[in-house]
Every structure is written in structure tokens, then in C-alpha cells.
Amino acid sequence: MSGMYSYLGLFLCLLFSVCCSATTFPSRRVILREVNDNGGDHPDYAVDLNVTNFDAVLKDTPATYAIVEFFANWCPACRNYKPHYEKVARLFNGPEAVHPGIILMTRVDCASKINTKLCDKFSVGHYPMLFWGPPTKFVGSGWEPKQEKSDIRVIDDARTADRLLNWINKQIGSTYGLDDQKFENEHLPSNISDTEQVARAIYDVEEATSTAFDIILEHKMIKPGTRASLIKFLQLLTAHHPSRRCRKGTAELLVSFDDLYPADFGSPNKQDDDKGLVKNIKICGKDVPRGYWMFCRGSKNETRGFSCGLWVLLHSLSVRIEDGESQFTFNATCDFVHDFFICEECRQHFYKMCSSVSSPFNKARDYALWLWSTHNRVNERLMKEEASLGTGDPKFPKTIWPPRQLCPSCYLGIDQRNNKIEWNQDEVFKFLTNYYRNTLTALYKDKNIVGNDEVEVAVEDLIAANNAIVVPLGAALAIAVASCAFGALACYWRSQQKSRKYFHRLYSLKTI
């Protein structure tokens, strides 16, 4: 029987190589990053596009609006206009953007022959020529001067940076200024129930995931005693991370984990290799982290951000798992925080709450509610500390979640004896599922980025019996049919892992 699985694994891996050789996609440049060094001066903030990446970048951006400047590198007026365009672009683009995630500012050089057809599609009749619209409306599209209705508009008053920014402010009702600095004059969304804002949290989940692993690598936290807990968490992310590119990245890391981190990885003769690994591993792709926060952005530089993004990730995992995975998810989360969360007081506090759980979780609902209750306990503690020290975010103070205005049906009343909220936990679970699963991935579903999770990753891939993480080989075929790449990764990984047993020192897995 094991021989048959080996042949099946070989077949799937060959199938993957055929798929990869037959289909080649250009790499996608994710937006809001610095792209040139500009001859040693400050980098350009506007993103350079061409015919090979035009559609991909505009489809992938989280920004609500896009500006595309068509120019020619030989045009003196274009060269003189560039400093004006860059003054505005620095507000919206790049890791240090003052107002990130709102407008993607790009440019296309029509003097480059590869862009001739692209510039023709937009009827570029003079240089520079600027267009405005929702990013996705530029994808596979164009513009004609005589079009009666179009979501793409020509910006007709943008000769200077002041005029361009004034034009933008009129379109979106903002009051941005060229002298705005980061975290000053910030118009943060006050209505956290806004569906679009919640959906954008997917980008913060990616940012938090990448940042967490950057911290792990930079601080050399992968050691013989922590390898097992990291593998458990990687398995959880591979199966249930809400971002497809993060699922892909964690799967790729699992495939090569033994090569990257052998048993003697922590020995002195491996230290030089460690430095190279820090640079090479990008768990959510080479363009993440981006250096900014959207849903989790605070009104002050030191508030919210990473910790908020990490909580959103944990909640999103808790409502995506099945009943049979609840205890595994609890173990994986507690072990990961205990071994890899670098804030000592927070780590110990979370570990204490994990250790207080006396019976295993049999239902996904129970685990999701435990994590929700745990988060509220953390917020209660921090509310008191921040109030006494004045260290909280004035626009986003810690609060009990969800507030009544978001879920009135979650509240039954107040227990007068201990002044505690009485919750309708069925309604709370419905709210958590809708907020952290349905709404969170809505933006990805609109952009066709999310695949069929139930087919891509089978539940059996995550569950282990007899205190071991052993992934069933039989699920490989279903995964390969759904996704050639995921199937091959799973196939190879299983061939490496099938005889290995990882024991966990904090909690023992139950046979399910």
C-alpha cells in the first residue's frame, strides 16, 4: 500500500512540473512600494507600470482609486511635471505613505515600444495625460474621448501638485494637504462596521503574518525545542489562512522545512546559513510586508498595527476550522504564542489563559468563543492599564467586543451581582463567523483571489492521531485535482512527513 502511495506521489509531482512548465505567469508587483532609487536621491513613489504588469498590479491593489499617468521619457514637460506628481504620490504610495491604501498612483512610459498598444487603448493624445478611476476598471479596459459613460475619467486640472491634490480632494470629499505627515491630520474611519473597511482587514492579516515570521527569523527563534510548534502553526495556516498567497507560502515552507531547518540548525556551523534564510523566506510572497496598515491602523504610530493584525488572523482561523480541528487549533495557537510571541508579558498572560483550560475542545464553536472571551479578557486588562498611564489610542480605545451597536442581539443584559455582561453566545458566534470569515474575505472573493478552500485543503490534512502530526496520503488526489500546485506541494510534503512524529510539550493532542 505504501508503494502505491509513493507512485501516486511521484505522479502528482510530475503533474505539477508539467503544469508549471505549460503555464508561465509574469510576477505581480504589489502596489504601494518604493520601486526606484532615483539616482541616489529619494525613491520614486509612483509605481512604474508597463504592458506586462499593468492589469495584474491594478487588479491586486487594495486602493479604492487609481491614477495612471501616461507620459514619454523624452518629453521636457513630462520631466518637469514629475516632481509635482511625486509630491502627491508620496502621500499615498510607499511604506511611509501618509494616507496608505486610498489611491494608487502609477505611470506608464508611452515612449517605450512595448507600451504602444497600451497607450493606444487609452487614446493618449498628449503628454502628460492623467486618468482617474477604480483600479479594477482599468483592467482589460481602455478609454475613448467620445465615450458617453465611463468609470475612467481624464484629470483635467493637474498642472501642479496643489491643483492635482485639490482635484483629488473634490472627488472623494477629503482635505489632504501636501504638508501632511504620517499619523497627523488623519481621517480614520470611525464606523468599524463598514463592510469595505472590514474586508480590507485581509491585507492587515497578510501584513501581520509576514511580520510575525520576519520577527521569528530575525531573532533566530527557530530551535530544536520550537520546531514542532512552528510546524503545527504552519499546517494551520496552510489549511485555513484567509489569504491564498499566505496559504501558498506556508505550504512551500513546509515542503522545504527539513532542508531549511535541519535538526542541527541551531549549531554554530549553521549560523551563516541562518543569515541567508532570513533574506529568502517570504511567507506571504515577496511583496509582503508592505509597511503599512489599513483596517488596523491607529491614530498614533505606536498603537494598533501588528497586535491588531495578529488578533484578526487568530479570529479568522477560529471561524474557518471544522469541529474535528478545534483542539488542534487550540494547541497550535497556544504553542505558537508561547514559543514565538516576543512581548514577554503578553506571552505569559496568554499562556496562563491557555493553561487554565481543563477539557479538550470538541466543537469549532467552543474554540471560537474561547478565543473571543480570551481577547475580551485581554482588552479588560489593557483598558485599565492604558487609562491609568494614558498610553491608549484616543480614537481606538480598548473595548469589549462586539459593541452593542454592531451586535445588539449578542447582549442579554447585565449581571447585577458582578456587573458583567450576559451574552447570547449563539448570536456572538454568528457575529464572529460573519465578521471574521464572510465579510473578511468578501474583498478577495470579489477579485476572484480566493479558491475553494474545502477542496484545496482537506480536513484530514490537519488532524493527527496518537499524539503525532501524520497527514493522510489519500487526500493528495483530491487536492491535486482542485489545484495542481497545492497538490504537488502536499504530495511532496507528505512523502517527507509520513514517518515523523512531532510531540508537543504543552498540550497532548486527542485522538479524533
Q: Among all residues, which ones are annotated catalytic?
A: 75, 78
CB 97 within 8 A of CB 81: no
**CB within 8 A of 494, min separation 6: which ones?**
9, 471, 473, 476
| Distance between CA atoms of residues 336 and 326, nearest Å | 15
Strand-pair category, 65-71 with 103-109: parallel
Closest CA to 32 of 98, 92, 87, 85: 92
Distance CA 105, CA 223 (A): 43
Cα separation, 401 vs 192, in Å, equals 12
- Cβ atoms < 10 Å from Cβ of 141: 15
Can you read off the three cell numbers belonging to residue 474?
489519500
Q: Alpha-carbon distance 255 to 490, whole Å?
A: 8
Rounded Cα–Cα distance for residues 423 and 421 (Å) = 6
Q: How many CB atoms lie within 10 A of CB 245?
A: 20
Positive or negative torsion for Cα 315, 316, 319, 320: negative
- β-sheet with 65-71: strand ranges across: 47-49, 103-109, 65-71, 129-133, 153-154
